[in-house]
Amino acid sequence: MKVFKYKNVLIIFALTFAIITMFYFKNSSSAYASKTSLPLNQLQAFSEVYLKIKQNYVQDITDKELFDNAIKGMLEGLDPHSTFLNEKDFKDLQIGTKGEFGGLGIEVTMEDGFVKVITPIDDTPAYKAGVKSGDLIIEIDAKPVKGLSLNQAVDLMRGKVGSPILLTIARTGENGPIEIKIVRAKIKVKSVKYEIIDDNYGYIRISSFQNKTGNNLYDAISNLKKDAKGNIKGFVIDMRNNPGGVLGAAVDVSDAFIKGKKKLVFTKGKTENAVYEFTSNNTDLAEGKPIVVLINGGSASASEIVAGALQDHKRAIIMGTQSFGKGSVQSILPITSKTAVKITTARYYTPNGRSIQAKGITPDIIVKDLELSSLNKNKMIKESDLKGHLKNTDKKNKDGELQAQNKKLENDYQLSEAINLLKGLNILSLRKK
């Protein structure tokens, strides 16, 4: 009798599902519905699995849990970026796009059953603890990651602010797993930082793409021009280890450097809503000054959109290493007021029609990141190192600032090479005059 009861419930469920689905197709897209039929055999199999779980699973499980898991499995089986957002996930996503959220501060994906770090976000607990792009997280608090979904792994990494977590990581070049202890924190991400370095060259660090990144970039350029007293010589746009973010912010950043009405990025998908083309608005805030863009394997998604646009329009020289290769667009489609699905709806293309998916952006100049600390062992002695040396009495001298700038360049080989390239471009432009 119990089996019969469940079967009746399942028959009602299947019929209701069919009616709802047909109603949806009819009202959302009649053209698509005419070409689509319901997979009744698969629905029957689903019903049978549902029945067997309810009858045989070792402990009671609610219908909500079963259906939520079914939805998760359906989405996560599509690609690494599609997923179901429950109430908590949906809220966290909305907070994250605004630049404030709790956790470790890493952007992750799934690879071969393990959680792969796309990049640690600047100045976050994970970044300070030494987590690196490309790391594979194999255990979280001694619990194996293998077999978990990405959402399940992320849930394990979330926790109360101030609580510790132990990540066991497999890293290329290491003989065995390494353990990294991190303390969870409330993370506020400042997506744009800037400073003048090495004789009026503007350095702009974009660590992520949030709703206000475009406005923050405009402010940064304006302030850099003021700091350089109108004599800015060029810009380095640093998007290394930038995991991406809001598509509109990537468009705003690209637009800031491209003069005229030109294509910046376009998308292609199955539906009309997934087909977009974004163009620039006729203003180059850098006023034609040379630009070098830094990227690496942790530069993904929106970072690649910007790099691709500036590269295709020959507005910047791209330097560094091959980018991550995420050339897909995810849309947030609400299910209820508190839940949604994040689903891949389109691929994006650079102005010249290049798809970056699984390929990435190839830099114009390949410069690998090198460890330079060993070079300091043979540091040359200078006049200023000698005991009793005469002091420089020039009041205009900014020795402290220069030392700080030089230290920044000494510790960052790729940035140093970017500045050297800008200097070379400036010398060439002066000789042409």
> Which CATH number characterizes residue 106's domain?
2.30.42.10
205 and 345 inside one domain: yes
Out of 326, 328, 412, 416, the active site residue is: 326
Nearest to 218 by CA among 256, 255, 264: 256
Out of 301, 303, 323, 416, the active site residue is: 301
- Is residue 423 scored above 70 in pLDDT? yes
**pLDDT-wise least confident of 154-168, 295-309, 389-403:** 389-403
Q: What is the pLDDT of residue 25?
A: 37
Residue 149 annotated to the active site: no
- Is residue 158 scored above 90 in pLDDT? no
- Close Cβ partners of 253 (under 8 Å, ≥ 6 residues apart): 206, 209, 213, 214, 217, 306
User: Is 403 a domain residue?
Assistant: no
Q: How far apart are CA 40 and CA 222, in angstroms?
A: 61
pLDDT in tens, 37-46: 788 889 999 9
pTM score, whole prediction: 0.78
The answer to whether 240 and 299 are in contact (CB under 8 A) is yes
Q: What is the pLDDT of residue 86?
A: 87
The answer to whether 217 and 205 are in contact (CB under 8 A) is no
- Close Cβ partners of 149 (under 8 Å, ≥ 6 residues apart): 72, 76, 110
Q: How far apart are CA 61 and CA 58, in angstroms?
A: 9
pLDDT in tens, 53-106: 999 999 999 999 999 899 989 998 999 889 999 888 888 777 666 666 568 999
The mean of the pLDDT values for the chain is 85
Query: Which pLDDT band holds residue 17 (cuts at 50, 70, 90)?
Result: very low
Which neighbouring-strand residues pair with 235?
A: 202, 291
Query: Which pLDDT band holds residue 308 (cuts at 50, 70, 90)?
Result: very high
Nearest to 105 by CA among 114, 88, 117: 117
pLDDT in tens, 165-208: 999 999 999 999 999 999 999 888 889 999 999 889 999 999 99
Burial of 319 (0-12, 13-18, 19+ CB in 10 A): buried
228 and 325 inside one domain: yes
Burial of 114 (0-12, 13-18, 19+ CB in 10 A): buried
Q: What is the pLDDT of residue 400?
A: 52
202: left (phi over 0), alpha (psi -120 to 50) or beta: beta
Q: What is the pLDDT of residue 116?
A: 93
The answer to whether 367 and 319 are in contact (CB under 8 A) is yes
User: Is 411 a domain residue?
Assistant: no
Listed residues 136, 156, 188: the one ending a domain = 188
Question: Distance of alpha carbon 429 from its chain centroid, rounded?
Answer: 35
Q: What is the pLDDT of residue 7?
A: 41
Listed residues 319, 336, 366: the one ending a domain = 366
Quote the strand ranges of 189-231, DSSP E.
192-197, 201-206
206 and 321 inside one domain: yes
Q: What is the pLDDT of residue 102?
A: 64
Residue 312 annotated to the active site: yes
Nearest to 363 by CA among 309, 293, 413, 264: 293
144 and 115 inside one domain: yes
140 and 202 inside one domain: no
- Is residue 47 scored above 50 in pLDDT? yes
177 and 218 inside one domain: no
- More reliable by pLDDT, 130 or 10: 130
pLDDT in tens, 216-242: 999 999 999 999 999 999 999 999 999
Residue 301 annotated to the active site: yes
Query: Which pLDDT band holds residue 296 (cuts at 50, 70, 90)?
Result: very high
- Is residue 15 scored above 50 in pLDDT? no
198 and 175 inside one domain: no
Out of 122, 238, 312, 412, the active site residue is: 312
- Is residue 268 scored above 80 in pLDDT? yes
pLDDT in tens, 367-384: 998 755 544 445 555 666
210 and 339 inside one domain: yes
User: Is 398 a domain residue?
Assistant: no
- Is residue 4 scored above 90 in pLDDT? no
Q: How far apart are CA 246 and CA 289, in angstroms?
A: 27
**pLDDT-wise least confident of 32-36, 114-118, 230-234, 339-343:** 32-36
Q: Which domain holds residue 178?
A: 100-188
- Is residue 148 scored above 70 in pLDDT? yes
Q: What is the pLDDT of residue 96?
A: 63
User: Is 150 a domain residue?
Assistant: yes
- Is residue 29 scored above 60 in pLDDT? no
Please state the domain count of the chain: 3
Q: What is the pLDDT of residue 27?
A: 40
32 and 156 inside one domain: no
State which amino acid sits at residue 156. Answer: L
- More reliable by pLDDT, 433 or 339: 339
Highest-confidence segment of 68-72, 139-143, 152-156: 139-143
User: Is 416 a domain residue?
Assistant: no
207 and 343 inside one domain: yes
Listed residues 61, 77, 111: the one ending a domain = 61
User: Is 382 a domain residue?
Assistant: no
User: Is 352 a domain residue?
Assistant: yes
Q: What is the pLDDT of residue 188?
A: 80
Q: What is the pLDDT of residue 70?
A: 93
